[in-house]
Chains A and B, each alone.
Chain A
Amino acid sequence: MSNQRKRLSGEREDEDDEDAEGIGEWERAYVDDRSWEELQEDESGLLRPIDNSAIYHAQYRRRLRMLSAAAAGTRIQKGLIRYLYIVIDFSRAAAETDFRPSRIAVMAKHVEAFIREFFDQNPLSQVGLVSIKNGVAHTLTDLGGSPETHIKELMGKLEALGDSSLQNALELVNEHLSQVPSYGHREVLILYSALCTCDPGDIMDTIQKCKKSKLRCSVIGLSAEMFICKHLCQETGGLYSVAVDEVHLKDLLLEHAPPPPAIAEFAISNLIKMGFPQRAAEGSMAICSCHKEVKIGAGYMCPRCKARVCDLPTECTICGLTLVSSPHLARSYHHLFPIAPFDEVPALSSLNDSRKDLGKSCFGCQQSLNGAGNKPGPCVTCRKCKHYFCLDCDIYIHESLHNCPGCESIHRPKSVSLMEE
């Protein structure tokens, strides 16, 4: 920290000709942010944040067009059921302090955030943890769907010792993942600190084995690029990257959270029978089938055999039905039924008349669509329901809501399938 600060203040000395040691922490916040650059004066001389909403909206439209063009070509096929092992290298190299306070602490912190994000984006997926220490790979947690158990186990095992062994880790993960159902995507994500690997045999054989068992291997390095890691990722179709600093590491990790495009031969598609249990009333008492204990409070009831379970997702211990929370599944449905981009309405006077008929306010938020001087401002329109929306609603509807309020306000007969939306 002190090193970095010296470097920063050194640069500043030639810039603003001021004794760097004299800048207080509070001043530095302003110097670094350059927050005044985001202000402008309005007509009455008051300070206002710069109005860059038009630029912002243009950028957003470009992004949206790109996304919808990409989606139009391909059917939405994503590997939503993933079986991922996270391998963390806890060898000697992980104790190094080029990441503050140490690589090991930084890795743990971001793996925790990653696990939470992962389960949010990949309902029904499972994660397991493996650590490398003293040249041996250890299983920290078995595959499971509960983020809390993984995080608890990970935080309890933070120490760096001995050598690292890529081969041992791959062999262990490969063995674990050989048991998962064929519709699942097998993946391993390795956080590698060391610059060498200490293997008992020929790692090239292991890499071929991984390739054969369709295990997608990705590596995030913390030191420098290594040939063997790159080779591994290339062979198995994974991603290889090396983090330069903490923020970069975080970004690289989160890149692995969204489901990768499914490669047909990697997993066999299938229909899986599942139940959506009801949540029991708060404060009700029942004997759960998973712990065989009397539990007071909410639990879930298997719809097939009515047995009580404590947590979702799980497998009913009585009848074997896979039990999931249906909202968990529904979180990914907006990928399946994306709403088409709205059309821009040119703010020309010729269009004035048609717009007057439809009212001058945004259908979503009721905001007036007239800009300064009561002239029609920029707005967009939905191709299906022909309602008009303001630019802010346009962004909100496509980025967060994933529904067109206009289309949703039209009754559709039951026979219309959701696919046609």
Chain B
Amino acid sequence: MSEAVDALTKVGMMVADAISSENSPRASIEAYRRDFDEADKSSSEPQWLRSMRRSAMDTFESGGFPSMKNEDWHFTNIAPVAEHKFQPAKKGAAVSSEALARIEYGQDWHTVVFVNGRLAAPSQGLPAGLTITSLASEIEGDTDLIKRHFSKLATPESGTFTALNAAFAIDGAVIRLAADTVVEKPIHLVFVSDAGAEQAATHPHNLVFAERHSQATIIESFVAVGADVYFTNAVTEVFVADGARLSHYKLQRESQNAFHVGTLQVHQARDSRYESFSFATGAELSRTNVYTTLAGDAAEAVLNGLYMVDGKQHVDHQTRIEHVAPNCPSHELYKGILDGRSHGVFNGKVYVHPEAQKTDGKQSNNNLLLSDQARVDTKPQLEIFADDVKCTHGATVGRLDETALFYMRSRGIGTSQARRLLTYAFAADVLEKLELEPLKEALEAQVLERFTS
């Protein structure tokens, strides 16, 4: 009897705790609501957008943060983000050219810098056929483009974080590639969080329109210059028209104590080719969604990635390839290197719709555990509703090959150097797939560097 009473009091106390706690998901949702209402009150945005944002805010508020019972979040506990009250970000300072050179790996790219979620430095001297504007200016001009496309691919209904982004996104890049335009130099979108983003959330929102037969390489970098604990909630919507070819690299190098959720939603028309690479080394907790729909005949998707974490980092990738149209190849290779007490998650879905005959899908996820405490949950999934398809998938979790380690040591190479070489070798084949040579070299160097010491 007394035990039962005890238990009841305990439950009562827990409930009370949750209500009074500053750090409950409820409290943070309420804070987002207050911030939203405040902004909404003084908003001068077009009506359609205001009502769209309100409904996105409602969706976010009623849905709340996903729990681990949600199949899409089964291995990722989002509580550290959900329970944290992030402020709206303050205006950032300019990024020094030295800092920028480091972020750019010394390359000369078409660079657009956003600091704390706002455009800080637009790109100069763009070639004909390429236009880069900011989301803020498109909203201000109430352009047809933004009205037709903002949050239409990555809808607020599709998830908590896209809803939150649609409610709060104020800036980002809007990239347009005119038909037949071939842009040689990569376009680099740099998202910097500086001291003004400390304890703050930013919600960058980018739109990319690659018109018929255009070609370009886009890089998105997420970095910190002076911020430590902050939350980036990014969305990029990409439209790849007939015959267009787009390479899209995401470099998530946030601070080690930051939180990052990024959603990439792509729509591919016939004969298009979309190549994505997700490189993730930063953040205490990150979730990257890469979703593409192969909507037109013979469109090709290549989704690759490398995640490399340590300490108490948690890195989660979810990919989804929707084969809607027939004759589409999709290839996917994700590799993970996990050290310390880090935790990696990979969830790759390939849906083959009934009309998507002659689909050629290949998906793999390989993980290397460098410590006994590191762990990985990997779940490649195939759902096939067409009968004439070729699809394979597989996942591995392994450790460094002891015989190879001994072989190297027997040649005079010390243990730490041998481990470093083998770790690098593990990542070599996925890095090899990067089609942008200077970036490939930079990332290779970064992998090697990470395991020096």
A binds B: no
Where the two chains meet, the residues of B that have a C-beta atom closer than 8 Å to any C-beta of A are: none
